[in-house]
Amino acid sequence: ILNVEQSPQSLHVQEGDSTNFTCSFPSSNFYALHWYRWETAKSPEALFVMTLNGDEKKKGRISATLNTKEGYSYLYIKGSQPEDSATYLCAFPRSNDMRFGAGTRLTVKP
């Protein structure tokens, strides 16, 4: 059974705050870990695909780290802006099967 857990379920922050959330996944037979950003009424869009233990990836104010040995990944947003409001999904592929977490819904208040 592939269980991908994300926490917290939702998060409300003020504009300018930095924030982070967690994705937990099975640590055995690791292939990759994906992060997606999903804005309301749109489709999920890829942020990062991470494949190596210790990987750190960055895109603007968003960054992610990966620990495959203990089975977790963190997503960080520095200086949150209202346009960062979205649901952030992580996904764990195993062979041809992709399992998504339920997501963390981030709301950034101006």
Partner 1 sequence: NAGVTQTPKFQVLKTGQSMTLQCAQDMNHEYMSWYRQDPGMGLRLIHYSVGAGITDQGEVPNGYNVSRSTTEDFPLRLLSAAPSQTSVYFCASSLNSGGNTEAFFGQGTRLTVV
Interaction site with partner 1 (CB under 8 A): 4, 31-32, 34, 36, 43-46, 49, 51, 89, 91, 93-103
Q: In the complex, what is the shortest distance from the CB of residue 40 to partner 1, in angstroms, rounded to a whole number? A: 11
Q: In the complex, what is the shortest distance from the CB of residue 27 to partner 1, in angstroms, rounded to a whole number? A: 16
Ranges of beta strands (E only) in the chain are 5-7, 10-14, 19-24, 33-38, 45-50, 56-59, 62-67, 72-77, 86-94, 97-100, 104-109
| Angstrom distance (rounded) from CA 73 to CA 36 | 13
Q: In the complex, what is the shortest distance from the CB of residue 20 to partner 1, in angstroms, rounded to a whole number? A: 19
Nearer to partner 1, 42 or 70 (CB): 42
Look up tokens 């968003």; give the residue. 62
Q: In the complex, what is the shortest distance from the CB of residue 79 to partner 1, in angstroms, rounded to a whole number? A: 25
Nearer to partner 1, 4 or 77 (CB): 4
Length of the chain: 110
| Angstrom distance (rounded) from CA 110 to CA 87 | 18
Nearer to partner 1, 14 or 31 (CB): 31
